[in-house]
Structure 1
Amino acid sequence: MKSGRHLRLLLGLALATSACVVTPALAQNVSAQTTKIIELERAGKYSEALTLAQKTLADAERARGPVHRDVAAALNNLGQAHAGLGQDSEAEPLYKRALAIFEKVGGLDSADVAPTLNNLAALYQRQDRFADAEPLFRRALIVSERSLGPGHPDTGRSLNNLATCYEKLGRHADSEPLFRRALAIYEKAGGPEHPAVATLLNNLGQVAKVTGRHAEAEPLVRRSLAIREKALGPDHPDVARSLNNLADLYERQNRYADAEPLYRRALSIRERAVGPDHPETATSTNNLANLLRLEDRVNDALPLLARLIVTGRAQARVALPMLYAAQRQQLVASGTALDDALNVLQRSAQSSAASAVNKLAVRLAAGNDRLAELVRRDQDLGSEAESLDKSIMAAVSKDRAKRDPSAEQRARERISLIAGERARLQKALSAEFPEYSALSNPLPLTAGEVQSLLSADEAIVLFAIAEKESYVFALTRDGFDWKPIPLGADALSGKIAAFRRGLDIAKASDASGKSGLFDLAVANELYAALLLPVEPLIRDKRSLLVVPSGALTALPFHLLVTEKPAMAIPDKFDGYRNAAWLLKRHAVSVLPSVTSLKALRAFARRDQNIKPMTGFGDPLFDPASAGGDNRAALKTASRSAASVAYTEFWRGAGVDRARLAQALPQLPDTADELNAVAKDLGVAAGDIHLGRDASETTLKRTRLADYSIVYFATHGLVAGDVKGLAEPSLALSIPAQPSEFDDGLLTASEVAQLKLNADWVVLSACNTIAGDRPGAEALSGLARSFFYAGARALLVTHWAVDSAAATRLTTSTFDRLKASPNIGRAEALRQAMLAYLNDASSPRNAYPAFWGPFALIGEGVGR
C-alpha cells in the first residue's frame, strides 16, 4: 500500500468530527471555540485549528480546573490538531491525559472514553506499533457497543478503526466484514453521500486492491473520491487520500499514464493544506517519485528524492531502487548514490539493540564521570517512564473487571515525578555540558566514515529488506559495492525458517531419517542470494561484519554454504564436515547497526585496573535440594530441556516456581565450564558464583562494572516460553522465598538496570539472541538490554544448545584467546567451531546444530 496513512483513522468528515468531544457543560465561549476547531479540521486548516485548540484548553482549565470532563475534551481536541499536522509526539501525552480524566470523572466505560482510545490507537498505528494499537481499538469498540449500542455512528467508527488495524497487519479476512458493518451503519445514519461513507468505500477498495481484485476495487475508490469532492471540496486532504489510492490502483495495473496526474494532484493538495514537511506530503512525494522511476524517468524523479532525503522522509522502498538506477545511468556519482542510500537506510532501520548501543556510546563518549553519571540517570529514568507508560496502556486496553485503578494512578504519579527529575537533569546537562546535545544525536555515517573504521582485512555487509526487493551493501577500507536481491521480506522469512529447521538438537540424534535435518542446499541458496552479489569485494577479507535487519537477525551467517553441495542432506553426519561453510572463510561478527561500528570502536575501555571476569553458573533450581547430588548423572542435561513447556508453570499472576524448579534440569557441567575459563584467565575463586550463590541477589550486589567479562552459564527462557512472562530471562538459583528483588529469573528489563563496563558478556544459554516477545526480531531482548547496561560485545546462541557442546565451545574459545590475545573474539570463536567440526572422534561433531549455535554480537575484532 502506497499511502502510509490511507487507512488512517479519522479519514472521513464524520469520523473526524466524532473524534472531537463537544461537551454541553462547557462555557459558551469554549463550546463555540470547539465547534470552530471541528470546522477548521474539516477544511484541512490544521494550523489554525491548533492555535484555537490551545486557547480552548487554556480557557477550559481556567474555568474548570485540571480534572474536568471539559478539560479532557479540550485535551483530546488539541491532540487531534497536533495529529493533523503530523506532530504525534505532541499529541500522544495529550490523549493520555484526556483518557485518564475521562475514566476518572465518567467511569471506565463512559461514552467519552472510546474516541480518545481510538485517537491514541491511531497514533500508535501510524508508527507501526500494531501490538500497542490493536488492544486499544478493541476496547474502544467494546466501550462504544456497551455505552452507545451496536448501530451508533461511533460504534461504526470503532469498527472501521479495528478493521483498519487488521488490514495493516494483512488480516484481510478479518478486516473486510468489519468494514462492511461500519459502512452499513454510516449509510443508514448519514445517507449514501456522507463523507464517512466515502471513508468506508475507500477502505473496502483498499482491501479489494491489495487482494488482487482490481476490477472490484476501482468503482469503490472512484465513488469514494466523488463523494469527498462533492461534500468536502476539491482541495480537501481527504480528497488527496482517494486520489492517492486510485493512483496506486492504476500503478499496480501498470497504467502509469493514468496514475501520474492523480499523484500530482494529491501532492499539490497536501502541500497547500498541510505544508511541505507533513508526513502525508512526504507520502505523496515518495509515491510520485517512485512512479516516475517505474516510467524510466529517473532524472525527473531525482529532485523529489533529494528533497525527501534532506528532510529525512525518503522511504527505502523508493529511494534505494532509484539511487541504484541513477548510478547505473550515470545520473549520480556512485559515491554520492551510496552515501544517500546509507543515509536512508540508517534513518529507516533503527533497531532497539542499535538504540541501546547508541545510548551506551553516549555514556562512553562523555569521558567525564559527572556527565556519564547524569546521562545514565536520564536514560534510566526515560526507560522507567517508558516501562510504566506501557503498563498503563496495557491496563487501559483491558476490560474494566481486570483493571486496577490505584496501581495505574501510582504509575501516573511516578511518571510525573520522573518528568520533573528529567527536566532538572536536562537543565544541568545544558548548563554544565553544552556539547551533550550534539553527542546524543549522532548523524548517519557516510561511506567514507564507515571505511575509515575498517582495517585492511575487514569487510562490512548490511541489508535493506523491502516488500518485494531487498539490497545488500558491502564496504571495505578501499572499496564498496551494492546490489539488489530479488527477494522481499516474506520470501526471506520463509527461506530462513527452512534453514533453521535443521538446527533442532532433539532431532539430531542420528542421520538415519533425513526429515528435519539441516539442508545444505537451502544454506547455499541463501548465500547466493545474500552475499554472492558482493563476493568479489568481501571474499578475501578474514573478518566479516554483518548488519542484518528484520528476519535476517535470526540467521546465523556463519552457517551459510558458499558452494553448491553434492547432497542437500548427507546420508551421514560426517557428510556435513566437508561442506563449504562460510565459517571456513570468515570470522563473523554481527552489529546491530552501521553506527554501532563507530560507537563500539571509538569508545573502547580506558580502565586498566579491571578484574578479568565474574561468572554465574550451575544455579540451584530446587530450593529444597542440597545441590551437588548425582553430578555425573546430570552431565548430559541440556540447557534447553525445559524450553518446550514453560507454559505449564504459569499460575495466576506469576510463575509457579516450585513446578518450574522441578522441570529445570540442573547443569553441573556449567560449573566445569566456568572453572575452566576462570583458570585460563586467572580469575579469583571468589569471582565465580556457583550453586546457591549463582543468584539474583549475588548478581545485583556485585560491582559488575569492575569486570571485563561477565559470564552466564544456565538455562535461557525465551519470551513466551512462560505464559505471561513478556520478556526473555536467564534462570538463576530460585530462592526458597522469592521476592521482587530475587525471584530466580533475571529478566531483560532487570538486565537493563545493571551497570556494566564489560568488553564481553557471555550468555552460554538457550537461544539468547531471541526477541523480547514471540515474533519480534532477534536482538530485541537480552542482547538489547546487555548493550544498554554497558556491554561492548555479546556471545549469544541462536537455538537450544547442547550443554556439553556449549562447554566445549566456550572453553576452547577462551583457550585460544589466552594463547593469542590479539586474534579477537570472533576469530577465537571461529577457530573453536572449526576444531569441533573437524574432530572426527564422533560423526555428530560435524553436524552444525552442535558446533554452530554461538554468534558474536558487537565488537569481535582484536585491537
Structure 2
Amino acid sequence: MKSGNRLVLTLGVALVVGACLSAPSSAQKIDIAARSSAIAELSRAGKYSQAIPLAQQLLADLEKARGPSDADVAGALNNLAMLYGSQGQDADAEPLYRRSIAILEKLHGLDSSGIAPELNNLAALYQRQQRYAEAEPLFKRALAIREKALGRDHPDLGQSLNNLATNYEKQDRHADSEPLFKRALAIYEKAAGPQHPAVATLLNNLGQVDKVQGRLSEAEPLIKRSLAIREKVLGPNHPDVARSLNNLADLYERQDRLADAEPLYQRALAIRERALGMAHPDAATSANNMAFLYQKEGRTADALPIVERMIAGGNAQPRVALAVLLGAQRQQLMPSEKALDGALNAIQRGTQSSAATAVNKLAVRLAAGNDRLAELVRRDQDLSSEAETLDKAIVAAVSKEPSKRDVAAEQRSRDRLAAIAAERAGLQKTFTSEFPDYAALSNPLPMTAMEIQALLSADEAMVLFAVADKESYVIAITRERFDWKPLPSGAEALSNKVAAFRGGLNVAAASDASAKSGLFDLALANEMYATLLGSVEPLIKDKSSLLVVPEGALTALPFHLLVTEKPAAAIPEKMEGYRDAAWLIKRQAVSVLPSVSSLKSLRAFAHRDQGIKPMTGFGDPVFNPTQENSGGARALTKSASRSVTSAAYTDFWQGAGVDRAKLAQALPALPDTADELNEVAKDLGVSASDIHLGADASETTVKHAPLADYGIIYFATHGLVAGDVKGLAEPSLALSIPKQPSELDDGLLTASEVAQLKLNADWVVLSACNTIAGDRPGAEALSGLARSFFYAGARALLVSHWAVDSEAATRLATSTFQRLKSDPKAGRAQALRQAMLAYLGDTSSPPGDISPRNAYPAFWGPFALIGEGASR
C-alpha cells in the first residue's frame, strides 16, 4: 500500500511465517526434534517471547554439535529469524535468513525446493520494510522453484502465490495481485479444506483488495469469514485474529460506522498488546488506529493519552499525532508549546530522509574534528556504506536464476561482509572506551520548537510540512513565535498539483510568444501559495529568509516560484507579464533543508579550514571525438538545454569500448559550460589549473583531485537521473567518456562514487539538469546526488529542478558568485535570489529572440539552494 493509506494491513505475513518453519531432519536426535516441535507450537500460539530463548538455545546446541554449515543449523537459523520478525526485530532476523539461504544453497544447489521457505521469509521481511523492489525477485524465485518441483496445485505453491500477490498489493498493483490471490485461495481450499488458517489469510487479503478499491459491500463478507475461521481454529486471542478485527474495523470506519468499528479496534489492540507487547509495530498500528477513531468521534481527551504514549515510544504516526495534538491544543487540553513539540517529534521520527541522514553523518564527522576520532568516524561510516552495497548485491544475486549466478563472487562478498563486521565491532569498542560522548552525538534526538528557535536568526522563518493521505500540515517557526495549521490537501492531491505546476517549466514553452499551450500557470502558483503558506503568512512574510523543510511530492516543488498575490491572468497576454507576477522570491530568499535536524547539523558543527582554495570546477566534457578541437561544430549547441534523450545506457557500450555515435545522441555537447566556469573562476581569482575542461573533465581527474582543499566544487555538465538514460541504476554526473572505459572511469560519476569523495566544501554547484530529482520513480527528490554530496562533505548544494538552458545557467551562476563576492555576509541564498531577480528584471532580449524570454520562470528559476543558505 502507499504510505498515505491507513496502516491497518498485514497482508500475507501470517501465511508467510506460518508455513515457513523449517522442520528438523529425520536424522536429528529425538530431544532436538521435540524442542523444535515445542518452539513451533509456541509460535503458532503467538507466544513469541517464550519461543525465542528456546530457539536461541537450540541453534547454539546444533552449531556446537554439527558445525556452522549443517542443514539443521540452516533450519534453526530460519526459525529463530522468523520469531524475531514476529516480534518486530527485523534487524536481528535479516542476517539469520541470509546465512540460512547461503548454507542451503551450498548444500543442496541453487534451485533446490528446500530453499523456497527461506527465500519467502527474507522477502517478507523486505516487504514489511517497504523494500518491495528487493522483495519481488525473491518471491518470484521461490514461486518458480516450487512450480518446477511441486506442480501447479501444491499447497506450498499457494503460499508463494499469496506472497507475490501481497507484494503487488502493497504497491496498489491490484490487477496483478487479485488473480494470484484467487488462484492461491482455490489451491488451499482444495488441499486443506475451507476452515484452514491459510484460507482465512487469503480471504482476508482478497477482502483488502476489494476494500481499498472502494468495493466495501464485497469486502465485508470475505473479511468476516476470515475472522470466523481464525477465531475457531487459532483461538480468540491469536495475533492473526487481531489482524482480521483490525481490517474489519477499518472497513466500518470507511463506511462511517464508527460505533461498529470501535469495539473491534479495542479488541485488536488488547490482543496485540498482550501477545506482542507495546513495542511491536502491529501493536503500535492498532494504538494509532484507536486514537484516530477517537479523534474522528470528537473524543480528543481519549485519543490524547494514546498519542502521548506512542510519541514517547517513537511509534506515533504523524497523520494521527498531528490531528490529535492540534485538537488538544485548540481544546486547551495541553499547552501550545507541548503540543507542537509532540508534533515535531512525530514528524522528525517519521520522515527522516536519506539526504537528512547524510547531513547528520557529515555533522558527526565535522564535530569529531581532524584528529584520530574524525578518522575513525569516517572509517566506520565508509564501512557501513560498503556493507550496505554488498548486502544489496547479495540480495540481488540470491534473486537470480541459478544459471545467472556467480557463486564465487557471492562468497567473496560474504567474506568481505564478515571482515567489515569484525572491523566495525572493534571500532565500536574503541568509541565506547575512548570517546564516550560520540554515541550521543551520532544518535540525535528530535529537536523541540525552542531548540529550533535558538538556531534561527532574527530575519529567518522556517516552514515544515507533514503530508498525510487526506490532510496535511504546515508548521511555521521564527525566533519569537510559532504556529501550525492543517492543510486541506492530502498526498495525492498535492502530488497532482506539483506535477501540474512543473508542467509549465519547460524552456521550449517560451520559444513562441503567441503560443499559450503549456505555459506556466500563475493562478495555480498563487493557489498553491495560498494552500501551503497562506495560513501562516502573518508569521513568515516579514522575514527576509525562508527555510523550507518539504516532504513527499513537495520536495519537487520550487517554492521560490510560488506567487503570493492573485495574478491579473493565469497566463499573461505577453511574455513580459510574467515579470510583474508577485513571485515569492521577490519577497524572500528561499533555502531547502532535507530535515529539521539538518539545520542543527549544518549550523552547530559547520567549519572551514583556513587557507582553503576558492574553487575547482569540471565542465564542457567530451562525449564524442568530433567534439575535440572542432569549435565550429560545438558552437551549434551553444544555447542548448541541458536535457538528455532517453536511450539505453547499455546500448552505448560494445565490450570494453563505447559506441560514441549513440552516446553523443544522448549527451549533447555543452560548450557554454566552459564559459560559465571560466567566468566564475576569473571573478573568484581561481587558478587556471583548478578548472578542468574538455577531456580533462573526467572521472579520473575528479577522483585524483585533492577536493578537500577547495571551498567550492563546481560541476557544469549533464545530470542524469535513473530513467533519463534507461538502464542507469544510479543518478550520475556525465563527464568525459574515455576511449577505454574502466572501473575507475566509465564517464559517469555515480552517486555511490560521489559518496566516496572526500570534500570540505562550503557548497557544491551542480549546474546540470534535474540534479534535485530522486534516484527512482516516486523517490524523495532530495536523495540521489544530493544525499551523496552531503555525505562526502558538502554543506550546501546549488541544484536544478529541470533541464536548464545553458546560456541562462551561465549567467545565473556567474551572477550569484559575483554578488556573493561583493557581499559575503549576504549569504548564498540571498546571492542566488538577487541573481534570479536581476535576470527576471532584464528587459533586453538576445538577438533573434521573438519574445523577452528572460521573464519566463523556466529560464530564471531553475536553481534551488539545498542546505545552509545563510552566511556562516
TM-score (norm: length of structure 2): 0.96
Give the letter for the 2:365 counterpart.
R
1:812 aligns with one of 780, 790, 815 = 815
2:825 maps to 822
Conserved 8 A contact 1:50-1:78: yes
Conserved 8 A contact 1:166-1:172: yes
TM alignment of 1:605-620, pairs within 5 A: 605-620=607-622
2:773 aligns with one of 752, 770, 773 = 770
Give the letter for the 2:503 counterpart.
R
1:847 maps to 856
Deviation at 1:728, TM superposition (A): 1.0
Give the letter for the 2:340 counterpart.
L
Conserved 8 A contact 2:676-2:810: yes
1:683 aligns with 2:686: yes
Residues 632/59 of structure 1: CA separation in 2 closer, same or farther (3 Å cut) = closer
1:701 aligns with 2:701: no
Residues 857/519 of structure 1: CA separation in 2 closer, same or farther (3 Å cut) = same
1:250 maps to 252
1:290 maps to 292
1:515 maps to 517
Give the letter for the 2:614 counterpart.
P
Separation (CA, whole Å) in 2 of partners of 1:718 and 1:368? 34
Conserved 8 A contact 1:556-1:798: yes
SS of corresponding position for 2:635: coil
1:759 maps to 762
Aligned residues: 862
1:27 aligns with one of 13, 26, 29 = 29
2:368 maps to 366
In the TM superposition, what whole-angstrom CA distance separates every residue of 1:587-623 from its partner, at most 9, and x where no partner exists?
Answer: 0000000000000011121411111111111122225
Conserved 8 A contact 2:772-2:801: yes
In the TM superposition, what whole-angstrom CA distance separates every residue of 1:545-602 from its partner, at most 9, and x where no partner exists?
Answer: 0001111111111111112222212232212111111111110000000000000011
In the TM superposition, what whole-angstrom CA distance separates every residue of 1:26-67 from its partner, at most 9, and x where no partner exists?
Answer: 333322222222111110010121111112212222232211
Separation (CA, whole Å) in 2 of partners of 1:757 and 1:97? 39
Residues 632/184 of structure 1: CA separation in 2 closer, same or farther (3 Å cut) = closer
Give the letter for the 1:669 counterpart.
D
Deviation at 1:171, TM superposition (A): 1.5
Separation (CA, whole Å) in 2 of partners of 1:584 and 1:21? 70
2:531 maps to 529
Residues 531/60 of structure 1: CA separation in 2 closer, same or farther (3 Å cut) = same
Separation (CA, whole Å) in 1 of partners of 2:258 and 2:633? 72
Residues 702/579 of structure 1: CA separation in 2 closer, same or farther (3 Å cut) = same
In the TM superposition, what whole-angstrom CA distance separates every residue of 1:723-744 from its partner, at most 9, and x where no partner exists?
Answer: 2221111111212221111111
Give the letter for the 1:214 counterpart.
L
Conserved 8 A contact 2:627-2:634: no
1:200 maps to 202
1:599 maps to 601
1:175 maps to 177
1:135 maps to 137
1:410 maps to 412
1:781 maps to 784
Give the letter for the 1:294 counterpart.
K
Deviation at 1:160, TM superposition (A): 0.9
Deviation at 1:70, TM superposition (A): 1.4
Structure 1: runs of 5+ lacking an equivalent: none
2:214 maps to 212
Residues 746/684 of structure 1: CA separation in 2 closer, same or farther (3 Å cut) = same
Conserved 8 A contact 1:646-1:721: no
Deviation at 1:708, TM superposition (A): 0.5
1:455 maps to 457
SS of corresponding position for 1:143: helix
Separation (CA, whole Å) in 2 of partners of 1:691 and 1:742? 15
1:546 aligns with one of 548, 553, 562 = 548
Taking only aligned residues, the RMSD between alpha carbons, in angstroms, comes to: 1.8
Give the letter for the 1:617 counterpart.
G
Separation (CA, whole Å) in 1 of partners of 2:653 and 2:403? 19
TM alignment of 1:633-648, pairs within 5 A: 633-634=635-636, 636-645=638-647, 647=649
Residues 5/79 of structure 1: CA separation in 2 closer, same or farther (3 Å cut) = farther
1:184 aligns with one of 174, 186, 190 = 186
Residues 87/827 of structure 1: CA separation in 2 closer, same or farther (3 Å cut) = same
SS of corresponding position for 2:817: helix
1:738 aligns with one of 730, 741, 751 = 741
Residues 478/227 of structure 1: CA separation in 2 closer, same or farther (3 Å cut) = same
TM alignment of 1:52-201, pairs within 5 A: 52-201=54-203
Structure 2: runs of 5+ lacking an equivalent: 846-851
Residues 193/795 of structure 1: CA separation in 2 closer, same or farther (3 Å cut) = same
SS of corresponding position for 2:468: coil
Give the letter for the 1:130 counterpart.
Y
Residues 428/628 of structure 1: CA separation in 2 closer, same or farther (3 Å cut) = farther
SS of corresponding position for 2:19: helix
Separation (CA, whole Å) in 1 of partners of 2:19 and 2:663? 56
Conserved 8 A contact 1:518-1:569: yes
1:477 aligns with 2:486: no
Give the letter for the 1:705 counterpart.
A
Residues 625/208 of structure 1: CA separation in 2 closer, same or farther (3 Å cut) = closer
In the TM superposition, what whole-angstrom CA distance separates every residue of 1:119-152 from its partner, at most 9, and x where no partner exists?
Answer: 1111111112222222222222222212222211
Deviation at 1:106, TM superposition (A): 1.5
Conserved 8 A contact 2:653-2:659: no
2:868 maps to 859
Residues 655/75 of structure 1: CA separation in 2 closer, same or farther (3 Å cut) = farther
TM-score (norm: length of structure 1): 0.97
1:587 maps to 589
Separation (CA, whole Å) in 1 of partners of 2:752 and 2:494? 30
Conserved 8 A contact 1:650-1:722: no
1:801 maps to 804
Conserved 8 A contact 2:345-2:446: yes
2:849 maps to none
2:441 maps to 439
Deviation at 1:658, TM superposition (A): 2.3
User: Mean Cα displacement is larger for which, 54-63 or 648-657?
Assistant: 648-657
In the TM superposition, what whole-angstrom CA distance separates every residue of 1:355-383 from its partner, at most 9, and x where no partner exists?
Answer: 00010011111125211110011001100
Deviation at 1:639, TM superposition (A): 5.0
Deviation at 1:457, TM superposition (A): 0.6
Separation (CA, whole Å) in 2 of partners of 1:711 and 1:655? 28
Separation (CA, whole Å) in 1 of partners of 2:245 and 2:624? 65
Separation (CA, whole Å) in 1 of partners of 2:12 and 2:72? 23
Conserved 8 A contact 1:542-1:586: yes
Identical columns (%): 70
Give the letter for the 1:858 counterpart.
G
Deviation at 1:506, TM superposition (A): 2.9
SS of corresponding position for 2:692: strand
Residues 840/654 of structure 1: CA separation in 2 closer, same or farther (3 Å cut) = farther
Residues 566/98 of structure 1: CA separation in 2 closer, same or farther (3 Å cut) = same
Give the letter for the 1:737 counterpart.
Q
Conserved 8 A contact 1:760-1:792: yes
Give the letter for the 1:269 counterpart.
I
Separation (CA, whole Å) in 2 of partners of 1:574 and 1:135? 53
1:354 aligns with 2:356: yes
Conserved 8 A contact 1:639-1:716: no
2:848 maps to none
Separation (CA, whole Å) in 2 of partners of 1:631 and 1:861? 42
In the TM superposition, what whole-angstrom CA distance separates every residue of 1:321-356 from its partner, at most 9, and x where no partner exists?
Answer: 111111011111111100000000000001110000
Give the letter for the 1:175 counterpart.
S
1:835 aligns with 2:838: yes
